[in-house]
C-alpha cells in the first residue's frame, strides 16, 4: 500500500497569483503544486494529490514514482559563508514566513532542485 507521507513534500509561504498562501510541492511529482490557507492545508492537499495520482497512474497501467530514499552517507550538515546582506535578507524572508532560517533554506533548495529537475532538457 502507498504511504504518501514518505514522499518529499515541501511547503512554503508566499504570494501566488496576488494572494498570500502556502504552496506545497512534491519532488517526486514535479508537475504538482497545491495551495492552502495554512501550512497543514497545503501539506494535506499534497498528500491527497500523491494518493490520487497513484490511483490514476495505476488505472492507466503506468508506474508510480517511488519516494526518494534519503542517502544515509550524508550528514545533512553544510557550512555556508554568505555576504552579510544576503544573510540578512534570508533571515528576513524566514521571519516573514514564520519559520527558522534553516527551514527556509531547506525549502528554497528543495523548491529549486525540484524546479530545476522538472525543467531539465534530457
Q: Where are the domains of the chain?
A: 4-118
Task: State the pTM of this model.
Answer: 0.59
Task: Give the strands of the sheet with 29-36, arranged side by side.
Answer: 9-16, 19-26, 29-36
pLDDT of residue 15: 93
Chain centre distance of CA 35: 12
> Residue 58 to residues 2, 6, 44, 51: CA-CA distances in angstroms?
11, 18, 21, 11
pLDDT above 90 (res 112): no
pLDDT of residue 122: 44
35 has which bridge partners?
A: 23
pLDDT band at 76 (very low <50, low <70, confident <90, very high): confident
Amino acid at each position: 500500500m502507498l504511504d504518501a507521507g514518505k514522499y518529499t513534500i515541501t511547503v512554503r509561504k508566499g504570494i501566488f497569483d496576488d494572494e498570500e498562501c502556502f504552496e506545497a510541492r512534491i519532488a517526486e511529482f514535479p508537475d504538482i503544486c497545491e495551495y492552502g490557507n495554512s501550512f497543514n492545508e497545503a501539506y494535506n492537499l499534497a498528500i491527497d494529490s500523491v494518493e490520487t495520482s497513484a490511483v490514476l497512474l495505476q488505472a492507466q497501467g503506468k508506474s508510480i514514482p517511488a519516494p526518494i530514499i534519503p542517502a544515509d552517507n550524508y550528514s545533512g550538515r553544510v557550512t555556508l559563508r554568505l555576504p552579510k546582506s544576503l544573510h540578512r535578507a534570508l533571515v528576513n524572508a524566514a521571519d516573514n514566513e514564520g519559520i527558522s532560517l534553516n527551514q527556509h533554506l531547506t525549502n528554497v533548495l528543495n523548491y529549486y532542485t525540484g524546479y530545476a529537475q522538472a525543467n531539465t532538457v534530457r
